[in-house]
Amino acid sequence: MNIVISNSSGEPIYLQIVNQIKRQILQKELLPGDHLPSIRQLALDLRVSVITTKRAYEQLEREGVIDSHVGRGSFVSGNNLDYLRKQGIQQLEDQIRQLLKKGKELELTIDEITDLMHRVHKEEQSE
Amino acid sequence: MNIVISNSSGEPIYLQIVNQIKRQILQKELLPGDHLPSIRQLALDLRVSVITTKRAYEQLEREGVIDSHVGRGSFVSGNNLDYLRKQGIQQLEDQIRQLLKKGKELELTIDEITDLMHRVHKEEQSE
Amino acid sequence: MNIVISNSSGEPIYLQIVNQIKRQILQKELLPGDHLPSIRQLALDLRVSVITTKRAYEQLEREGVIDSHVGRGSFVSGNNLDYLRKQGIQQLEDQIRQLLKKGKELELTIDEITDLMHRVHKEEQSE
Amino acid sequence: MNIVISNSSGEPIYLQIVNQIKRQILQKELLPGDHLPSIRQLALDLRVSVITTKRAYEQLEREGVIDSHVGRGSFVSGNNLDYLRKQGIQQLEDQIRQLLKKGKELELTIDEITDLMHRVHKEEQSE
DNA sequence: GTGGTCTAGACCACG
DNA sequence: GTGGTCTAGACCACG
């Protein structure tokens, strides 16, 4: 499993782990039934406290994205793609609402915001 | 001055104050030279700790958006519109970058994101 | 607030806290808006680690039963009686299902189980 | 021998084995003297660790429900029906006590609990 | 003071 | 080995 931790991003470490695992499930790099590294092993790999990896796995289990069993470890649970996708779209819409609100405050029209978005998109691609 | 505090938004109270004052300056509801309520008065009005209003005013002063003078109070400082506008655009671009990143994770194209944005925009208007 | 911790019950301490707070809300000993003791204070009172009280409050917040705000503390959130009652009935029905299953294994009829329940009930009352 | 393991029930695997064997003895599907599969064979059948089946048999032996002899295997021991039945009744009474406690918290009377039990019983039967 | 995050370390039941 | 619970202790932003 490929997880990268940033100490400077401001995003809590446990959430970085949660989100990156969700992302990998969403992109089918992790499949239902796949065995995840143990919280101890992952902690060693990421050079992070066991408690932090545990917290991440707890969150994922609470959302039904993984199943953990004492003595056996943690596994990607069956078919969460729908759930994760819906959750993702929801978050996207929330971001859009914030964006539109911010744009309105700056007295930008929807077209100006769209233009800005396309300009930023082109910049990102050319990097 | 018209400030509304939300306890459920998750946004720190002092930042809610900061941002709403900035917004009002940007929208010319507050003009250069305008006298702001004292931190004590504002704390009373908003039913919030004085520490909180103090923190908000400190932040605004640090950004040069208001001037505080012992014994006289705080005032909107001269011509911050450019600064606030640039800051707003910057924040908007950051939001857009996050949006594009999230969209990419969900395997949405830039056109699909644009469509979604327009759809959300129409919903917001019709409310 | 009146919470009693048992070290011998087998029920995790944080769950004992969670359940006793839920019980008190259900029985209107705690009302919406009531200020709960801080996690540190409660930890001192119960002679338990801060992490344990924190964990209890996290669980309660996740279920929407309380609201916690940095710097301000934790409060019973508005009208959870319905939620808690429904949850309680659900748990009761699950217990009943287990009971009936167990009774069936022992080849008891529903009437025999009912009798046993009334007998136990009388014993409990006379204690 | 017919044992079904559930990964989702939360009940430890070794206890699932213990309880299902007890049940089968109670219901005379397993009789005194019957030869049980070896821990290795059972582990293979259930796709479970040998440690787990070993733990289950140890528990059963400790309770005197089976006898294990090195080189010969494990056998249902003579006349445990009384013991298992008493144990079952005991457990049933404990469940009833919990039920009554829960019901009390929800401010249900003994009659309301009895009604609910009969209702659940009818649902179960009609399935 | 208050909760949020993080760390190091321990013991337990389970597999 | 594996996750579940618990402890003592730290630093941070917020009020």
Query: pTM (2 decimals)?
Result: 0.91
How does the average pLDDT of chain A come out, rounded? 95
Rounded to the nearest angstrom, the minimum Cα separation between D10 and chain C is 14
> Own/partner pairs for B47-51, CB < 8 Å, 24+ apart?
B47/B5, B48/B5, B48/B13
Does D have 3 or more CB contacts under 8 Å with B? no
Rounded to the nearest angstrom, the minimum Cα separation between A67 and chain D is 9
Cβ contacts (< 8 Å) between C33 and chain B: which residues? Answer: none
Q: Which nucleotides of F are covered by protein (CB under 7 A)?
A: 1-10, 13-15
pLDDT at B46 over 90: yes
How far apart CA C93 and CA B81 sit, in angstroms, is 63
Tokens 């925009």, located at residue: B121
Task: Write the pLDDT tens digit of every residue in B2-18.
Answer: 999 998 888 999 999 99
Average pLDDT for residues B66-82, to the nearest whole number?
92
- Determine if strand E comes within 7 Å of the CB of C72: yes
Question: CA A69, C1' F3: Å apart?
Answer: 6
How far apart CA A49 and CA A40 sit, in angstroms, is 8
pLDDT at C25 over 80: yes
Instruction: Encode burial over C64-76: b for 16+ CB neighbours within 10 A, e otherwise.
Output: ebbbbeeeebbbb
Q: At what angle do helices C39-46 and C50-62 cross, to 10 degrees?
A: 130
For residue D8, the model assigns a pLDDT of: 87
In angstroms, the Cα distances linking D92 to B117, C98, D64 are 59, 9, 21
| Percentage, residues of chain B above pLDDT 90 | 89
DSSP A68-102: EETTTEEEEPS--HHHHHHHHHHHHHHHHHHHHHH
Task: Write the pLDDT tens digit of every residue in C82-114.
Answer: 999 999 999 999 999 999 999 999 999 999 999
**Which tokens in the block code for residue C117?**
């329940």
- Determine if strand E comes within 7 Å of the CB of D49: yes
| Percentage, residues of chain D above pLDDT 90 | 89
Banded model confidence at residue A102, pLDDT cuts 50, 70, 90: very high
For residue B18, the model assigns a pLDDT of: 98
The DSSP output letter for D8 is S
Q: How many CB atoms are located within 10 Å of the residue C39 CB? A: 21
Q: Where are the beta strands (DSSP E) in chain B?
A: 35-36, 66-69, 73-76
In angstroms, the Cα distances linking B64 to B76, B79, B82 are 9, 10, 12
Rounded to the nearest angstrom, the minimum Cα separation between D25 and chain C is 11
Task: Write the pLDDT tens digit of every residue in D63-118.
Answer: 999 999 988 999 999 989 999 999 999 999 999 999 999 999 999 999 999 999 99
Residue nearest to nucleotide E14 (CA to C1'): A71
* Cα angle value A78/A80/A84 (rounded, 5°): 165
In angstroms, the Cα distances linking C111 to C53, D115, D117 are 43, 12, 11
CB B113 within 8 A of CB B103: yes
* Residues of chain D with a CB closer than 8 angstroms to some CB in chain C: 23, 26-27, 85, 88-89, 91-93, 95-100, 102-103, 105-108, 110, 113-114, 116-118, 120-121, 124
Banded model confidence at residue B1, pLDDT cuts 50, 70, 90: confident
Report the nucleotide nearest the CA of residue C53, measured to C1'. Answer: F6
Q: Where are the beta strands (DSSP E) in C27-91?
A: 35-36, 66-69, 73-76
> Own/partner pairs for C21-26, CB < 8 Å, 24+ apart?
C21/C56, C21/C60, C21/C65, C21/C66, C22/C60, C22/C65, C22/C84, C23/D105, C25/C65, C25/C76, C25/C80, C25/C81, C25/C84, C26/C81, C26/C84, C26/C85, C26/C88, C26/D105, C26/D106
User: Helix, strand or coil for residue D117?
Assistant: helix
Task: Write the pLDDT tens digit of every residue in A21-69.
Answer: 999 999 999 999 999 999 999 999 999 999 999 999 999 999 999 999 9
The DSSP output letter for B106 is T
Banded model confidence at residue A118, pLDDT cuts 50, 70, 90: very high
Residue among D16, D81, D106, D113 with most chain C CBs within 10 A, to mutate: D106
For residue C64, the model assigns a pLDDT of: 95
For residue D79, the model assigns a pLDDT of: 83
User: Could you give phi then psi for residue A75, rounded to 5 degrees?
Assistant: -135, 145
**Which tokens in the block code for residue C38?**
């801080």
Cβ contacts (< 8 Å) between B7 and chain C: which residues? Answer: 67, 69
